[in-house]
Amino acid sequence: MNSMRRFLVISVLSALMLVNFIAALHGYRSSMLEAESLFDQKLSEMAAQYAVIPLTGSVPPPAPDDQQMVFQIFSQEGRLLWRSAHAPVDLISDEPGFSEHNFNDYRWRTLSYLNKDNGRRVVVAERVDQRYRLAESVILESIVPVVLVLPVAGILIWLIIGHGLNSLGVLAGILRRKNPDDFGAIKVDGAPEELMPVINSVNAMLGRLNASFERERRFSADAAHELRTPISAIKMHLHNVREELPGGSDSLRSLTKDVDRLAHLVEQMLLLHRTTPDHYPAKFEPISLPSLARELIAERYADFAAKDQSIELVGEAVTVDGDRFALGILVQNLLNNASKYTQQQGRIEVRVERRADGVWLTVADNGPGINEVAQLRVFERFYRLGGDRHSSGVSGCGLGLSIVEHIAELHGAKIMMAKGLDDGPGLAVSIIFPLPPSTATSSELGIKVKPINSAKRYSGQGGKQ
C-alpha cells in the first residue's frame, strides 16, 4: 500500500472493528442469558399467579391467549381445571421446573409448578422462537448503532491521522520550494519527534551535496585556468613555429589541428558544466529568437563562406522567456553542427515559428543526416556518429548536442529530430519552447545568406537580399 495515511486508517479501523465484534459477541451472549433469565422469571410469576387464581364452576371455558404463551391448570387428582385456548388437553409436562417440549408445531419453553397448599399443578409454556426474536431485537438495537458509527469513526480517524501527518506535508513543501543551489539546513517548526530523524538525515545529505558541488565548482574554475593557459601558450608557440618554417609541414598542420580540437574540447566541457540546469544561474528575459539567430549567423559567416554554403532565416518575429547567454550557446551549437556536417555548397535553414504547442526553433540542412537508431544516442556525452573517424572529416568532441539538451531543459523546452530539407536526407533539429504569456508576431521573415555574393547580406528590416 503506497499511502501511509490510507494504511493507518485501514489498520485502525480493522482493529476497531475486530474489538467491536468481539465485544458485541460477548455482549450478545451475555444479553441472551440475561434475557433467558428474565423470560423464565416471567413464566415463574405467571405460574404462581395461576396456582392461586379462584376458579368457579366445574370446567371453565378455555381462556384466550396470544398463541405465543399457553397454560394448563390441573387439580391434585390430575383433572384439567382450566387451560388457554391453544393449550393441549393433555398435560404438557409433569417434570417439575423448566424444560422444553414440542407441540402445536413449535418448540416451547415450559415450567411445571406444583402448589403444595392446594395441590394444583400449573404448567405455563412460551414459544422459544418468539423468545429469541424478542431478545435479538433488543440486543440488535444496542449493537446496530456501534456498527453504524464505524463510517463516522473512519472519517474522524482519517482527519486525525491527516492532521498528524501535516508535518510531512510541511517538510515536502519546504523541499519543493528549495532552489537547486540552496543546500542550507531545513527546519520544520513544531515537528514531532518521529519526524526529526528524517529532517536530520535530509540536512546531513544536503550538507554532503553542498560539499560535493563546492568541490565541483572549484574544479571547474581551476580547470578553466589550468587548461586554457597552457593551450593558449601552445597555440602561440605553434604560430611562432609556422613563422620559422615558411613551407610548413604535415606534422605541424596535424599538430595545429589537434591543439584546436583540444581547445574546443576544453571549452565544450566547461560549457557543459556551466549550462547544467542545477548549476546555471539563469537570468530570464524576453528574447527575440529571430534577432538572436541573425546575430549568430553573422558571427559565423566566415564558416559558411569557407564551405560555400547558403543559409536562410525564415519565420515569425516571436519572443521567448530565456537566458540570452544560454540561448546563444544553443543556437551557436546547432549552427556549428549544421555547418560542419553539411557538404560544400550545401543549404541550411533556420526557421522560427509560433505553433499551438509552443515556439519552434528549427535548424535544418540537406547534409547526410542521422539515422533513427543513432538519433537515440546523439545526446550522450562524447558520442559521435562513426566515432572519431566521422565521414565528414571534421573534428569534434561529441558534446555539442549534450549542451543543447541541458539548455533546453533549463528553459523547459523539448527537442525533436526529423528529416532535413527536401533536396537531401539532411537533419532537422527542433527546439520547442513553452509559449510565453504574450507572443508578438509580425510579418514573415525571409533572410537568405549566399556567401559567394557581395558583402551586403542583411537588411535592417530583415528582408531578403
Sequence-distant (6+) residues with CB within 8 A of 236 are: none
Partners of 100 in beta bridges? 109
C-alpha cell recorded at residue 84:
388457554
Instruction: From the options 3.40.30, 3.90.550, 3.30.450, 3.30.460, give the CATH code of 4-159.
Output: 3.30.450
pLDDT above 50: residue 440: no
Helix-strand-coil split of the chain, %, nearest 5:
50, 20, 35
195 in helix, strand or coil? helix
User: Could you give the dihedral angle defined by the CA atoms of residues 458, 460, 463 and 465, in that order, rounded to the nearest 10 degrees?
Assistant: -30
Confidence band for 451, pLDDT divided at 50, 70 and 90: very low
28-37, 126-135, 383-392: least confidently modelled range: 383-392
Q: Are 384 and 348 a contacting pair, CB within 8 Å?
A: no
115-124, 141-150, 159-168, 336-345: least confidently modelled range: 141-150
C-alpha cell recorded at residue 329:
550557446
Estimate the crossing angle of helix 196-244 against helix 250-274, to 10 degrees: 160
172-229 residue pLDDT tens: 888 888 876 677 888 877 777 777 888 888 888 888 888 887 777 677 667 666 777 7
Instruction: From the options 3.30.390.10, 3.40.50.261, 3.30.565.10, 3.40.50.620, give the CATH code of 281-449.
Output: 3.30.565.10
Residue type, 9: V
H-helix or E-strand spanning residue 435: none
Gap between the Cα atoms of 258 and 250, Å rounded:
12
277 or 255, greater pLDDT: 255
Q: Are 410 and 323 a contacting pair, CB within 8 Å?
A: yes
Q: What is the pTM of this model?
A: 0.48
120-147 residue pLDDT tens: 889 999 888 887 777 777 667 767 777 7
Domain 185-274 in this protein, CATH class: mainly alpha
User: DSSP code of 105?
Assistant: T
Average pLDDT of the chain to the nearest whole number: 78
Write out the DSSP string of 243-262. Answer: HH-TT--HHHHHHHHHHHHH
373 or 207, greater pLDDT: 207
**What residue ranges do the domains of the chain occupy?**
4-159, 185-274, 281-449
| pLDDT at residue number 133 | 79
Q: Are 339 and 307 a contacting pair, CB within 8 Å?
A: yes
Helices (H), 300-384: 301-306, 324-341, 372-375
